[in-house]
Every structure is written in C-alpha cells, then in structure tokens.
Structure 1
Amino acid sequence: MTKNVIFCDFDGTITNNDNIIAIMKKFAPPEWLALKDGVLSQQISVQEGVGKMFALLPSSLKEEIIRFLKETASIRSGFQEFVRYAEGNGYELFIVSGGIDFFVYPLLEGLVPPERIYCNGADFSGETIKILWPHECDEQCDNGCGCCKPSLLRKLTSKEDYKLVIGDSVTDLAISQLADQVIARDFLLEKCRELGFPHKEFVTFHDVMEFLEKKAEVGI
C-alpha cells in the first residue's frame, strides 16, 4: 500500500531562525565563521563542519544554550495546525534535522512525538561538546551528511510512496533530489529553481497546507 510521506526540516524551516547559527553567533569564537562558509559552499561536509563548530564550545555551556534557545527560538506560523492537518489527512510526518537533540526535542515538545524526530546527538562528558551521529549515511550516500536525510528517506519509504520534502538549506538539498515535490524557502528555494526540482515556495505552514489542499482537489 502506497503512503504519502512528508519529510520536514527543523532549523530555519519549523523554526524561524537557524538555531545552530544562533548558537554560534552567541557563544562561539570567530573560527566558526570559516567552518560555516565551508559547509555552505560544500567544500567541507555538513558532518565535519557541524562537528568542528560545536567542538569550539565548552560542554559547561549546555544549560545556558538551552535557556538561550528557549528564550529566542520561535516556531514558524501555522506549524501546529500543519501537524494536525497532516495527521488528519493521511500523511506520515517525519522531522529530519541536522540539529542536535538537546535543543530539537525541547523545542518540539508537545508538537511532534519523539519517535517521529530524527536528528543528531550530543555528548557533554568531555571538555567541549561532541556531536554524535546516530543517522549517518548509508551505502548509497557519501556526502558526510551527519544526519543523512536521503538515507532516512530510503529507510522509511518505498519507491511507490509519494514523498514531500519541506526545507530551507544545504542540508535539504540531497533529499530534495529524491522527492516528488519540494516546498522550499531561502537557499533551498534558489537551488530548486537552479536545478529544476519540482517545487513551491513557502513562507508559513499555512502555505504548505494550501498546497496540500490543492493537491487533494486535483487528485495528485
């Protein structure tokens, strides 16, 4: 039986801002900037770049970082309604995030069940923050994704399933190549236009629901 499956990014998609960037701007020394530029230009892998960025931060900052994000991070308009819409209209919704568990789970608490969330982990037992990678690339991917979204898509769907990807950044590019439809903003939107991926632009999750309503009307 075929399924309708949605893979939704977290940072800069569900949240209005990219939380990793916010953390680095607030807490990291200037060296993080070169790592960020290397990831965005695809000169270094996401896994390498994010791992090295968090290694710049002392583990002792954990509670301060969580407090900072709880005070500053905001959920994009319409997301709560979108989750209910997906559940009520036969969509399987997965959150696939290059973010880290110690802030992804608290920010999504009460919105998405934990078993529907796939993200990276963190180890605070050492002097600096060590990022853990429970969802690394499978044998079909060698991009060093960290949380490998294409691998998760292959694991969670069959070829016949309808696959919708919602995202905004370089970490969503590889999974977008495997999608039947992409709903994009920011960097990902530019790349979809450049590469010719089937896509729609979104600003809020009300836009996403409007697309799904139109899809249902025309039966695609």
Structure 2
Amino acid sequence: MKKPIIFCDFDGTITNTDNIIAIMKKFAPPEWEQLKDQVLSQAIPIQEGVSKMFALLPSASRKEITEYILEHAEIREGFEEFVAFLKEQGIPLYIVSGGIDFFVEPLLDGLVSKEQIYCNKADFSKERINIVWPYTCDEKCEYDCGCCKPTLIRKLAKQTDFKIVIGDSITDLQAAKLADKVIARDFLVEKCKELEITHTPFHSFFGVIESLKKEVVTNA
C-alpha cells in the first residue's frame, strides 16, 4: 500500500493571502504589477519575475517589511489542527514555497520545523533586496521555477509514496501534474479544470482533514 506524503504551498494556501503580493502592494512602485501579470500568464519565468519584483525594494526596508507581514498575515483556519492530525497519522509534511525565508519561517515557527520548510531566501547585503534560489530546477524541469516544487517532490518522495499536493497558484501547477492527489483553491482550481487535472477544492484546512480522512487515511 502506498504511503501518503504531503507537499503544501505556503502563500495563499497556509496563509489567507499571498504575502509577496501584500509586500508589493504596500512597498513597491507601480511597475511590480506588470511583472506579476507576466508571471501569472507565464510570459516570464517565476524566478525572473520574483527577482525583479524584489529588486524594486531597498534592503533598508527589511525591518519595516518584516514587521508588516508578521502583523498582517493570517494563518488559514484549521492549519494547526491539520499539522496535529498529520503527526497523529505519521504522515510526512513538507512546506514547498515560492515565499521568502524572512517571513515564511517566522510565521510557521512553533507549527512546522525548519527541516520541513523549503523556500527561497533573501539577501539584504546590497542596496536592493536580492532573492537567492537554493532549490532550483533539476534537469527534468524547464520552467525556471525559482523554488522548484517538482524537483523537490522527486528528491523527497519515493516512487512508492502517495504524493499529495496542496496549493493555490500557478507556482503549484507543475507539482500538481506529478501528484496522486491534488487539493486546490483559487487560481490552481481554474488551471486544474482547464487541464482536466482531478482535484479536490478546499477553503479551510478542516476541509483538507476531512478529505484526507475519507480518501487517504482509510486506504493507507
């Protein structure tokens, strides 16, 4: 019997809103919007778009940006219970995120250990914020993902695992194509419908727990 393993997005999935978008709306000049649209339409790669967006921001704003996100970001309802449920069931959880370490790690502190978190990193040593990409694409991926979720799935999951992907955006689409089960919301739902990828929609993590109880835990 295949063992379940979960790969979960962070921004807009674990949190109610996308934190990169929130940072750009609050701190970036207007040209960030065009970059965002180019990423969403897949006109430019995610890595290029996110790098250019953060390059619009001065490193001197680090403290102000961090405080803003930690004050305003909300963890989606049921996530704490979801983490507890997975521990109880012995199901591994990995956070695979296009988000940045300086807000992802503090927001998950006390809920998920750093060893389970794979995200991009920020370098504040130069005048502008520079994004560092420790988890780039392997030779099987050609999308210049930034934090490459398919590569991480190939690295962390065994062939015998039942791979579950939870996400909300374009950054989760290639991972969804590799999953045995997709749990989706927002833009990812639209893309799954468009590409006829079987998926379960969700609004809170209580719904995710119920879905896992019905379809995964009983079969594990």
> What amino acid does structure 1 have at the position aligned with 2:173?
L
**Structure 2 partner of 1:118:** 118
Stretch moving more, 189-198 or 100-109:
189-198
**Structure 1 partner of 2:57:** 57
> What amino acid does structure 2 have at the position aligned with 1:196?
E
**Structure 2 partner of 1:87:** 87
Contact persistence 1:180–1:198 (CA under 8 A): no
Cα 1:196–1:58, aligned 2, differ >3 Å: closer, same or farther?
same
**Structure 2 partner of 1:135:** 135
Contact persistence 2:4–2:216 (CA under 8 A): no
Matched, 1:5 2:18: no
Write the distance in 2 (CA, Å) between the matches of 1:191 and 1:216: 23
Contact persistence 1:99–1:119 (CA under 8 A): yes
Write the distance in 1 (CA, Å) between the matches of 2:185 and 2:157: 24
Measure how far apart 1:159 and its partner are: 1.7
Measure how far apart 1:216 and its partner are: 4.4
Cα 1:156–1:27, aligned 2, differ >3 Å: closer, same or farther?
same
Write the distance in 2 (CA, Å) between the matches of 1:7 and 1:80: 16
C-alpha RMSD over aligned residues: 1.2
> What amino acid does structure 2 have at the position aligned with 1:142?
E
Structure 2: segments with no counterpart, 5+ residues: none
> What amino acid does structure 2 have at the position aligned with 1:107?
L
Measure how far apart 1:164 and its partner are: 0.3
Contact persistence 1:134–1:147 (CA under 8 A): yes
Matched, 1:203 2:203: yes
Matched, 1:48 2:48: yes
**Structure 2 partner of 1:169:** 169
> What amino acid does structure 2 have at the position aligned with 1:114?
K
Write the distance in 2 (CA, Å) between the matches of 1:155 and 1:84: 25
Cα 1:186–1:52, aligned 2, differ >3 Å: closer, same or farther?
same
**Structure 2 partner of 1:71:** 71
Contact persistence 2:6–2:164 (CA under 8 A): yes
Q: Which secondary structure state, in structure 2, belongs to the residue aligned with residue 173 of structure 1?
A: helix
Contact persistence 2:16–2:75 (CA under 8 A): yes
Q: Which secondary structure state, in structure 1, belongs to the residue aligned with residue 163 of structure 2?
A: strand
Write the distance in 1 (CA, Å) between the matches of 2:118 and 2:200: 24
Contact persistence 1:2–1:162 (CA under 8 A): yes
Output the TM-score relative to the length of structure 2.
0.98
* Superimposed CA distance per residue, residues 191-216 of structure 1 (whole angstroms, 9 cap, x where no aligned partner): 11111112100000000000011124
Q: Which secondary structure state, in structure 2, belongs to the residue aligned with residue 119 of structure 1?
A: strand
> What amino acid does structure 2 have at the position aligned with 1:52?
K
* Superimposed CA distance per residue, residues 66-98 of structure 1 (whole angstroms, 9 cap, x where no aligned partner): 100111100000000000101111211000000
Contact persistence 2:59–2:129 (CA under 8 A): yes
Output the TM-score relative to the length of structure 1.
0.98
**Structure 2 partner of 1:152:** 152
Structure 1 residue ranges, 4+ long, deviating more than 4 angstroms after superposition: none
Q: Which secondary structure state, in structure 2, belongs to the residue aligned with residue 91 of structure 1?
A: coil
Measure how far apart 1:217 and its partner are: 6.5
**Structure 2 partner of 1:27:** 27
Write the distance in 2 (CA, Å) between the matches of 1:147 and 1:130: 15
Measure how far apart 1:51 and its partner are: 0.3
Write the distance in 2 (CA, Å) between the matches of 1:148 and 1:159: 18
Instruction: Tell me how many residue pairs correspond in the alignment.
Output: 220
